[in-house]
Structure 1
Amino acid sequence: MAALLSVILPVFLVVGFGYVSVWRSWLSDEHISGLMKFAQNFAIPCLLFVAIARLDLGQTFSTGLIFSFYAGSTTGFLAGLLGARFLFGRPWEDCVAIGFATLFSNSVLMGLAITERAYGADALGPNYAIVAIHAPYCYILGFVVMELVRARGAGARQAARAIGGAIIKNALMIGIALGFLVNITGIPLPDFAWDGVELMARAGLPAALFGLGGVLFRYRPEGDMATIAYVCAVSLLMHPLIVWVLGRTVELSTGEFRSAVLTAAMAPGVNAYIFANMYGVARRVVASSVLIGTGLTVISASIWLSFLP
């Protein structure tokens, strides 16, 4: 429990700074909106670029590991999307953002840290395999479904054009695409360019977490607690349970099984709010789900750890 708190409390501290800054009127809503635009349009794309550009694409990925984790996360996405629509009557655009929250678990900030605390640095190999394609898979799935929803009623050609245009113009997708381009082609970048991009990348998560705190003051979870509880249940219980069953079915190794289940059991990551904020939908639900889910992870992760080999 103490190890989990040491991972989670710094996250709450940064979020708390953002909350207090708006509560005490040290920063305005416009300041927070500007900070979130910086995070989602500049810093986070740089973070994705650096991570993918330096990814070892020759690394051996376990088919069973990838299947177990991403089948579970995709099922969580569908559960979030359809539950938001048919249980809570949310608009379809809200439903996609809520589904994204149940899709995008906090695989880096919490998943890596908790796995290392529990099993040591040598156990992180399967985590890195999951993380390697986590952001590209989740964002591409989220963008495609959101643009399909927004283009409903349009013809197939018009819908395809809308989806393609949205993906091409999106800063996060540009960061991902450029990362793969540099990785695959081996284009050399001068040291000063890497240093500048890395400076931007390091600002991404702190800026997003601080901004999330300011957003939470603006969008307090009034009247949305049932939806927030549903998101937390899918993220912390349903997703890891599916991965557990699939991991046993495909006979993952002990290390792969532990990493897959623990990563699946993490709360929604701050990227879930970035996605919701990008489209201006379900921000109250997603922001509160990130914060409340992160707090509940102290309990849920401890339970999952007690059952893991």
Structure 2
Amino acid sequence: MLQILGITAPIFILIAIGFGSSRARLVSREQIAGMGTFVITFALPALVLKALIERPLGEVFNGTYLLAYGLASQAVFWLGFLYSRRIRKDSLSGSALNALGMSVSNSGFIGYPIVAMVVGPTGAVALALGMMVENLLMIPLALALAELGRQSGEGLRGALIGTFRRLLRHPIILAISLGLLLSLFEVRLPAMLGKVVEMLAMASAPVALFVIGGSLDGLRARGLLADVAQLGLGKLILHPLAVLLCFALLPAVDPALRTAAVLFACAPMMSIFPILGQRYGLEGRCAAALVVCTVLSFLTISVFVGLLR
């Protein structure tokens, strides 16, 4: 448990630094928003591109793993989406963001260090497979629905066309498309350009966490409890259970890969979740859910590690 705390503690420290800086007025709301724009426009696309081109797709391809993890993530996504949309009467964009928070993990910064401690080198293969599901399926789906929610006042045809055009210009979608193309043809970036991409990718986590802390300053918890409860239950309990169930129903895979998949699903939502929410005016909800889920994940991950062992 102390090892898990050693992984999660730096996250809380960076969030606290962002919160304290905003509270002390060392940075303004406009500067916080500007840093969020930097992450979503440059740093996060670089991180996605780097993850996709580091290994050829055929090198780590495991059909059963992709199917099990993808089906489980889709099941939790649509459960969260329909609950938000039909039961809680949330907006289309809000429902899409809630569903994304319930079904996509912070695989790189929380999930992988924990998985590597438990299963060793197999964790790197599981990380690459999980990133395929998240970057090629889950994130584009959520962004498409969220963008569709911004096309209010238009007919269905106009809304779909507008959504498609906006997605074509979305930095993350562009990075996924370029990364997939380069990976398929096993093209490597020139050393100088690769270094630029690596530097931008390294900036995504600390800046995103700083922005989360700054977004929490002045946040009112009233009205957010239902969202936070839904996201916490979905991400920390339903997602890992769904992954465990899908692996049990499909043909057997390496037990280490199965363990890695469940532990990746145990991780809280990705650290740029509030940055994605900022585009739709939902950064407060997303930041609150991220902080709560990251704190609680210390307990839920420990429980699942014990059960899987």
**Short-chain TM bin:** over 0.9
Q: 1:299 to 1:187 in 2, by over 3 A?
A: closer
Q: CA deviation at 1:140?
A: 0.9
Q: CA deviation at 1:279?
A: 2.3
1:297 aligned onto 2:297: yes
Indicate conservation of the 8 Å contact 1:104/1:271, yes or no: no
Give, in whole Å, the separation in 2 of the partners of 1:188 and 1:292.
39
SS of aligned partner of 1:126: helix
State how 1:71-150 maps to structure 2 within 5 Å. 71-150=71-150
Indicate conservation of the 8 Å contact 1:236/1:267, yes or no: yes
Give, in whole Å, the separation in 1 of the partners of 2:49 and 2:62.
24
* Equivalent residue number for residue 18 of structure 2: 18
Indicate conservation of the 8 Å contact 1:50/1:201, yes or no: yes
- The CA RMSD measured in Å over matched residues stands at 1.9
Q: CA deviation at 1:81?
A: 1.8
- Of the structure 1 ranges 62-71 and 299-308, higher mean CA displacement relative to structure 2 is found in 62-71
Deviations 1:241-286 (A, max 9, x none): 1111111111333112101111111111123222211222x32221
Q: 1:278 to 1:16 in 2, by over 3 A?
A: same
Q: 1:271 to 1:113 in 2, by over 3 A?
A: same
Deviations 1:156-197 (A, max 9, x none): 542332222011111111122222233334556432222222
Give, in whole Å, the separation in 2 of the partners of 1:152 and 1:36.
25
Gaps of 5+ in 2: none
Indicate conservation of the 8 Å contact 1:104/1:272, yes or no: no
Q: CA deviation at 1:35?
A: 0.6
Question: What is the TM-score normalised by the length of structure 1?
Answer: 0.92
Q: 1:40 to 1:78 in 2, by over 3 A?
A: same
Amino acid at match of 1:31: Q
How many aligned positions are there? 308
Q: 1:219 to 1:138 in 2, by over 3 A?
A: farther
* Equivalent residue number for residue 70 of structure 2: 70
Give, in whole Å, the separation in 2 of the partners of 1:273 and 1:50.
22
* Equivalent residue number for residue 190 of structure 1: 190
SS of aligned partner of 1:55: coil
* Equivalent residue number for residue 160 of structure 1: 160
* Equivalent residue number for residue 252 of structure 1: 253
* Equivalent residue number for residue 271 of structure 1: 272
Amino acid at match of 1:202: M
Give, in whole Å, the separation in 1 of the partners of 2:13 and 2:190.
36
Deviations 1:208-262 (A, max 9, x none): 1111110111434223112201110010101111111111111333112101111
SS of aligned partner of 2:58: coil
Indicate conservation of the 8 Å contact 2:56/2:186, yes or no: no
Give, in whole Å, the separation in 2 of the partners of 1:235 and 1:113.
18
Indicate conservation of the 8 Å contact 1:18/1:210, yes or no: yes
Q: CA deviation at 1:85?
A: 2.8
Q: CA deviation at 1:60?
A: 4.0
* Equivalent residue number for residue 181 of structure 1: 181
